[in-house]
Amino acid sequence: MSDPSVGLALDAVRLEKLHRMFAAQPFMGLLGVVLVRADHGHCIMELPYRPDLSQQNGFFHGGVIGTLADNAGGFAGASVMPLDSGVLTVEYKLNIFAPADGDTLIAKGHVLKHGKTLVITRVDLFTRRDGHDKPVATALQTLMVMQPRPALAAS
């Protein structure tokens, strides 16, 4: 809770929007991802280890790491976008530099640049074992702000 990297608190309306958006992603439920916290421009997600999330060596699968990176970045970005907009992943690049073995996979996303159309985020990923966090991967991501369409907004 004392992580110095987190930003300013979100107001209740915005926080509720993010939690609703998260709950609306069935794939998060399949994996068991937890939206731990969201602040202005920051987001932390965690995923407890399960054997069916692993690759051939029993570590978190690379696809699981990519999923958590993409989503933690996406929600960090969504936290700074207009309330009535949606968020779209344009692209991301992920470097995995250590085996993702641990009890929990953690992704900390934060916004590097907030433009009107695009938002750039960085995500740092860790595995936790016995309370110790080990860096395992990092990602750089481009998001697009999806403006509500006038026709839809009017309905």
Task: Give the footprint of its own copies on this chain (CB under 8 A).
Answer: 21, 24-27, 29-30, 51-56, 61-64, 66-68, 70-71, 74, 88-98, 112-113, 115, 117-118, 120, 122, 135, 138, 140, 142, 144
User: Which lies closer to its own copies via its Cβ, residue 52 or residue 130?
Assistant: 52
- Smallest separation (angstroms) from its own copies to the CB of 70: 5
- Burial (CB < 10 A; 0-12, 13-18, 19+), residue 49, is buried
Q: Which is nearer to its own copies, 34 or 120 (CB)?
A: 120
In three-state secondary structure terms, 54 is strand
CB of 129 to its own copies, least distance (A): 18
Whole-number Å distance between alpha carbons of 126 and 108? 9
Those residues whose C-beta lies under 8 Å from the C-beta of residue 125, and which sit 6 or more positions away, are: 65, 68, 69, 100, 105, 106, 107, 108, 135, 136, 137, 138, 139
Residue 77, SS3 per DSSP: helix
Nearer to its own copies, 26 or 131 (CB): 26
Cβ closest to its own copies, residue 1 vs residue 132: 132
To the nearest whole angstrom, how small is the minimum distance from the Cβ of residue 59 to its own copies? 10
